[in-house]
Structure 1
Amino acid sequence: MEAEKALERITPEEAGISSRQVKKCIEELMHETTQMHGFMAARHGKVFAECWWAPFNSEMVHSNHSFGKSYTATAIGIAVTEKKLSLDEKMVDIFKDEIEERKICVPELTKKITVRHVLSMTNGHAANPSIEGDWIANYFTAAIEYEPGTRFLYNTSGACMLAAVVKKKTGENVKDYLTPRLFEKIGINAERFVWLKWPNGIDAEPATFATTEDNLRLAILYMNNGRWNGEQIVSEEFIREALSVRIKTDEAPEQKDGRCGYGYQLWACSIPGVYRFDGGQGQYGIIWPEKELCVVVHEGGIAPYGPQETLDVLYEQLLLVADDENLPQDRAAYDELVAYEKSLKIEKDKPNRLHPEIDFSGTYSVISGNADPWIGMAPPGGFDLFAIYRDHSKQEEMTEFSFEFRPDQCRFRVNKDTMIKASMDGELILRETDNVFPQLKNYCATARFVKPYILEIRIHWVNSWAETKMRFEYQKGIMKITSMKLRLNEEDNWLVSRGEAIKVEER
């Protein structure tokens, strides 16, 4: 099975770029407006550069955000290839039963929307339909301002509808449908690949978590016009249309690479002929078919400028300097590059320097508020998008917690089920813990007293860039709790919630 077959590795020189140049590229990727997590590059389907910044590693799945839209689009392409679906089918026809069941009065222009329009984000909506609640109903009742196919409006509701299209036309969820048709054929471990679900059981968006190499393999498939080891997995016609400008995006609010045009759930780049899978905060898969060059990145780029800066570095320091011919081998430079790649790690947290004025040890019962430590991802001013994807069979609300202190560690237990071991010296030690996302257990945590009466526990949920800062301030018998969840946005960086608790023995 292809899942057991490794991609071939070559030196950068065999890919037409010097090892010294690759090292320079990696160095410049670590700019001020991001935290790099994983990077891979391949030429002619062969890997010539790869590195992860510890504690991130090659086997760890990482949030894709809207990169996941391209996995859903690939499922649509395969369904078209298998003649289970036509891109010209109308959405109202596919969802006729759901529309009748909900007694929806569909706007006239909505009746014209085809699968092709949804793929290219040219639905015609005046504003993005909400993905809260009944998102299928929201899609078909949203106001339409433009003729479908004529105007671009970036949205996530369409990707959700495409996943529902796959379920309707094939009888399977996207991941289940892709497992034998894509994952097993191009070498993606389906058991490791995480695809969270909506409460209605449909595979959700944005909710995929993949390894960096998983994403590279998908990029290579597109670079090869949908072929893998001689097998046509997705039709050439679909890939050709996907890797083209289906609609101009001149008026998009994004940075420069957001205004170069859109294909099928992917973007055109500012280098002509280059396209990319693109997820929030810089989850990239860059494809240059003419040069047979693919680059993928997992990072935590600070919006609005960090992700574009990463793209600029990749263009200037890698793509645009790659030669079409092999370069002479430089063993010393290559060995230096490999050693450098293996040495990379993210900066550790601040160590504890203070002694508390009181003993924080013990068990506490929450008496008000809803401040929890779980993975959270929210746009500026918005709600936690990932709250809906939690395993609701588990205790979601933090109702009880406890602290146990050791010389080098604070043990923070939540609801008796989740143990967070936080290093007091700032070291980021990779660990696992059960939580409301059972498939996303990886974390690093540190603890320190920011004031003699305030304990801060910093949890890095390393299956993504997500981070939660939990601050506990003891005041007159009440433990004040503040939960701060990272947004990675320059203008509004934290989603904040608060609560209060008392020691159990003091109730």
Structure 2
Amino acid sequence: MPEPTPLPRCSPEAQGLSSRAVLSWLDALAADDLELHSFMLLRADHVIAEGWWSPYSAARPHHLYSLSKSFTSTAAGCLVADGRLDVDDRVVDHFPESVPDVVGDHLAAMRVRDLLTMRTGHARDVTDALHDAGDGDWVKTFLAQTVEHTPGTHFVYSSAATFMLSALVQRLTGTTLLAFLRERLAPLNFGPAHWIENARGVNLGGWGLHLTTEGIVRFGQLYLNRGHWQGEQVLPAAWVDEATRAHVPPGDEPESDGGDSDWAQGYGYQFWRCRHGAYRADGAFGQFCVVMPRPQAVLAVTAGVGNMQRVLDHTWAHLLAGMGEGPLPTDAASVMLRERCAALSLAVPDIGASWHGTPRDETYRLGANEEGWTTAQLVTDATSCRLTITGPDVQHGIDFGLMAWRENQIDLWGGQEQVLARAGRQPDDTLALTVLLCGPGARWEVTAQHDTLTVYLAPPHHGEGRTVVARLTPAGEEHSQR
């Protein structure tokens, strides 16, 4: 696929926003210890600020988690525009071979619009049932779940509903959701992407899309311009309006905490409404595509944060509040902003500038842990460092760069994930290894000192953070385990 035509760039001041406002936004995020991996801010179809926290980079796709859902609903919108799908179609009519022997009234009444608005009638999220399906037939498993409420009357956020939209797209087009979107959104050329599939080759729909930050901001620009892209109507404006309005009334989200929450403003076709007349696609740990129609702006963010609301709070307070109507005078702060964005770096443990390559070949036994890891083998010499973590159903072999990042691939969480790994020594001679799971945005911090290996699974992907301690095995026992 050809490289996408670059989006035009200009200073924030040229589009009515002071660079100082962006700097204050970055300061506020840092003060709250909110770990962003990238951002792009677009206004009036121009990128006015952007940055990646090294070693994240512009070319590297990031897991979007539930931000994927908005791409799935967009594919449904394309099929509606083609006349191949209607939001009032009954779900069971599209999958007649997968329905249970007895179809209850509620299941029979479930419409495509109920999948889009997460009002399928289920009393709870049924996604786990799909994961547990012994034969891998997620569609049949979804349709077998009890539908307790009349569809369209009860909101339950459920990735299973979005998976069904993906399965529906594949059924109607004969190709995967991602392949269909590449064709239909070709004018955007949203760049490198991949989407995790289930065992039957269906893109997960509700999560699993990996995309670059620019791919996210291009998607947001398409919606900001009501489906119009550089002279072409790629998506009907009527669909954009329908998808991004509140079908689920404000406050229906069970976890909402009142009017100050951006999760209490209503839900559309796999889009959340926001305060200030904005709306967004979002995913776990701070993946955002925030569309702000009034100031004609889009903010794309990838991150690893636990408190997603705080990212939005700072966005309204610093970015949205600072957007004026006309260009501003040139400001020296624009140079400061460029320098700040060029120097962004992830907060990882400090290491020295040299490598003491004392040869070691050690096996450690890990304590009980939720990852199912049992042993770890650490092998180092003057030019290399390798850590191999094993368990009954897992083996992660990771090669580390010495004081620099080295790329690996491991099987993790249903697919292959790119990993960046760096090894070095701290002032007290502790061996410090950092494993960055680039796609998911997760991180492991490993230290080895004396007879102890400690693996810290960093928040937010691992809750508040979890530590696994491993002890060096005696020499005889070490060899017996290999």
TM-score (norm 1): 0.81
Q: Does structure 2 conserve the Cα–Cα contact (< 8 Å) formed by 1:12 and 1:48?
A: yes
Equivalences for residues 452-471 of structure 1 within 5 A: 457-470=433-446
Q: CA deviation at 1:325?
A: 1.7
Equivalences for residues 471-490 of structure 1 within 5 A: 485-488=457-460
1:203 corresponding residue in structure 2: 203
Q: Does structure 1 conserve the Cα–Cα contact (< 8 Å) formed by 2:386 and 2:397?
A: no
2:286 corresponding residue in structure 1: 282
SS in 1 for 2:410: coil
Q: CA deviation at 1:398?
A: 8.2
Q: CA deviation at 1:467?
A: 1.6
1:380 corresponding residue in structure 2: none
Q: CA deviation at 1:33?
A: 3.9
Equivalences for residues 352-367 of structure 1 within 5 A: 361-362=360-361, 364=363
Count of residue correspondences? 460
Distance in 1, matches of 2:150 and 2:312, equals 33
Distance in 2, matches of 1:338 and 1:250, equals 40
2:264 corresponding residue in structure 1: 259
Q: What are the superposed Cα offsets for residues 410-453 of structure 1, whole Å, 9 maximum, x if unpaired?
A: 43256898442165xxx5x332113226863241334669999x
SS in 2 for 1:257: coil
Which of 460, 463, 479 lines up with 1:504 in the alignment?
Answer: 479
Going from structure 1 to structure 2, the CA distance change for 1:367 and 1:431 (only over 3 Å counts) comes to closer
Distance in 1, matches of 2:427 and 2:124, equals 43
1:234 corresponding residue in structure 2: 235
Going from structure 1 to structure 2, the CA distance change for 1:168 and 1:482 (only over 3 Å counts) comes to farther
Distance in 2, matches of 1:506 and 1:340, equals 50
Distance in 2, matches of 1:96 and 1:40, equals 44
SS in 1 for 2:196: strand
1:109 corresponding residue in structure 2: 106
> Does structure 1 residue 170 correspond to structure 2 residue 173?
yes
Letter in 1 for 2:422: A
Distance in 2, matches of 1:14 and 1:20, equals 13
SS in 2 for 1:186: coil
2:223 corresponding residue in structure 1: 222
Distance in 1, matches of 2:193 and 2:471, equals 35
Which of 484, 488, 494 lines up with 2:466 in the alignment?
Answer: 494
SS in 2 for 1:317: helix
Q: CA deviation at 1:153?
A: 1.3
Q: CA deviation at 1:246?
A: 0.8
Q: CA deviation at 1:110?
A: 1.6
SS in 1 for 2:79: helix
Going from structure 1 to structure 2, the CA distance change for 1:398 and 1:114 (only over 3 Å counts) comes to same
Q: CA deviation at 1:290?
A: 2.9
Q: Does structure 2 conserve the Cα–Cα contact (< 8 Å) formed by 1:412 and 1:422?
A: no
Distance in 2, matches of 1:500 and 1:264, equals 53
Q: Does structure 1 conserve the Cα–Cα contact (< 8 Å) formed by 2:367 and 2:468?
A: no
Distance in 1, matches of 2:340 and 2:463, equals 34
Q: Does structure 2 conserve the Cα–Cα contact (< 8 Å) formed by 1:404 and 1:411?
A: yes
Q: Does structure 2 conserve the Cα–Cα contact (< 8 Å) formed by 1:360 and 1:403?
A: yes
Going from structure 1 to structure 2, the CA distance change for 1:500 and 1:201 (only over 3 Å counts) comes to farther
> Does structure 1 residue 420 correspond to structure 2 residue 421?
no
TM-score (norm 2): 0.85
Q: Any gaps of 5 or more consecutive residues in structure 2? A: none
2:69 corresponding residue in structure 1: 69
Going from structure 1 to structure 2, the CA distance change for 1:333 and 1:470 (only over 3 Å counts) comes to closer
SS in 2 for 1:316: helix
1:299 corresponding residue in structure 2: 303
Distance in 1, matches of 2:466 and 2:250, equals 30
Going from structure 1 to structure 2, the CA distance change for 1:155 and 1:499 (only over 3 Å counts) comes to farther
Distance in 2, matches of 1:309 and 1:181, equals 35
